[in-house]
Chains A and B, each alone.
Chain A
Amino acid sequence: MRNHHASSFGDFRCGNCGALVSSMQTQSGVNNRNHCPYCLWSCHLDLYSSGDRLSACKAKMIPVGLTMKKSRNKYQISPRGELMLVHVCTDCESVSINRIAADDDPKTILEVFRNSLNFCLHNEDEISILRNEDMVIEQLFGMRIPA
């Protein structure tokens, strides 16, 4: 397809919680800020690839769970892969997985994980929702938090 470089949408106000979100890469650690670091809700903007901003849907996307993305990079931090957020569009129900940004609230991520334990994706054979809490906590905090 044609090379589409979407211009940065810049800072934005979260459509769910109303927080003002900075799109600065130095703050989030990701190239395309696509969800709110406070409530983790996203907006359906990408169509073919991350950051293309070609989707016309533009509806809110709810974080429904976590998944692990395997990388071919043999020097990656964790051999299990990278923890990713799974979003589902509230309008067209399309599913996307997104990188967790550096400033995402880990407690909210954990909350999303706990809420997802009884959740099933319609295409779970393609994206498997994580069920192992110890692994998630280890990925988020580097250690098991004492009860």
Chain B
Amino acid sequence: MKTTNESDEGVVFRKSLGHYSVRIDGQEIDCELSSRLHKELIYHTSASLKHKVQSIREVDKADPVAVGDRVRFVDAGTGRGMITEILPRRSKLSRPLPVPGQRVFEQVIVANADQVLTVFAASSPSPKWGLLDRYLVTAEAAGLPSRIVITKMDLATQNKSLEQDLEIYRRIGYPIHLVCSSTGEGREELKQALHGVMSVLVGKSGVGKTSLMNALQPGLGLRVKEVSQGDIGKGRHTTSHLQMFDLDFGGRLVDTPGMREFGLWDISPEDLASLFPELAPHIGQCKFGLSCRHDNEPGCAIRKAVMAEQVSPYRYQSYLRLREEL
């Protein structure tokens, strides 16, 4: 029998308003966070000095624990517990979270994921390719491979430029999945891509992320709603928490609430071009070498590549817009 001081190791499957569901051996424990995790304890670096806390610094994260985190927790019995330690992460997908009146915090959307599925609807709401570029850059920065998933393919006839737009990403090498949750189109192919890995769905509200979850794993019965009836087809933010699911066919999938705003976190302007796979081969070949901002500089290899139609002008403009933000 375990004493209360002993800690167990589990994986965070769901988080909502300060409560974390930690799974261990198929059992879910409702945990809260130890106040110590909100602080970073700084010790003396010298080995000769006594191991003693020198100062305490507030952690600059919106929430130190993310879905997918492996954590140590103290089981208090009766299905409740307290998270005491977050184990090192393999990967993390982050965005900045502005807190009014305070500085910008890092929000880790998911930890330890293996791939990112960027979800957009063929129509209603229409795809925002600039937002897709943000997701792709963030995934590249996190070192995670991305897949582009286009849902609501039954409405594809309403978007005449869809194929032409997707061709830009196909040429870069991003895998594209065309699916329809209601007809089952593209579902089996997507299942194969999800098999055995941990994936995270990102996309704005109303694109059909949760409907896709329900289609991939019938029986989940997750709540979905129609998009608003106006011509803009906005989502209704039906999913309001992050949750990870074990897939019957192997693998894990994280459903996220719609993310309309997606800033770039911890990416320097100098690194940005390297996060666009089609721009990366041209870096360093400019007249000004690595100092080139790829904007108005003469002899820029990236601008030449755009002019030679090796790089899409839309992606290049995305690069310039994102660079302006950093």
* A residues whose Cβ falls under 8 Å from a Cβ of B: 1-2, 4, 6, 47, 53-58, 92
B313 contacts chain A at the CB level, 8 A cutoff: yes
Cβ B316 vs Cβ A4 within 8 A: no
Whole-angstrom distance between the alpha carbons of A14 and B164 in the complex? 36
B306 contacts chain A at the CB level, 8 A cutoff: yes
B296 contacts chain A at the CB level, 8 A cutoff: yes
Q: Which residues from chain A contact B161 at a C-beta distance below 8 Å? A: 1-2
Checking A4, A6, A53, A57 against B307 with a beta-carbon cut-off of 8 angstroms, the contacting residue is A57
B314 contacts chain A at the CB level, 8 A cutoff: yes
Cβ A56 vs Cβ B306 within 8 A: yes
Checking A1, A6, A57, A92 against B317 with a beta-carbon cut-off of 8 angstroms, the contacting residue is A6
Whole-angstrom distance between the alpha carbons of A56 and B161 in the complex? 22
Q: Which residues from chain B contact A54 at a C-beta distance below 8 Å? A: 313-314, 317
Q: Which residues from chain A contact B313 at a C-beta distance below 8 Å? A: 47, 54-56
**B136-179 vs A: 1/0 string, CB under 8 Å?**
00000000000000000000000001001100000000000000
| B interface residue count range (under 10 / 10 to 19 / 20 to 34 / 35 or more) | 10 to 19
B43 contacts chain A at the CB level, 8 A cutoff: no
Q: A1-B165, A2-B314, A4-B317 are in contact. Are A56 and B129 (CB under 8 A)?
A: no
Whole-angstrom distance between the alpha carbons of A54 and B317 in the complex? 7
Q: Which residues from chain B contact A1 at a C-beta distance below 8 Å? A: 161, 164-165, 314
Checking B129, B164, B296, B314 against A58 with a beta-carbon cut-off of 8 angstroms, the contacting residue is B296
Task: Among B165, B302, B313, find the residue whose CB has the most chain A CB atoms closer than 10 A.
Answer: B313
Q: Name which residue of chain A comes closest to B294, CB basis.
A: A56
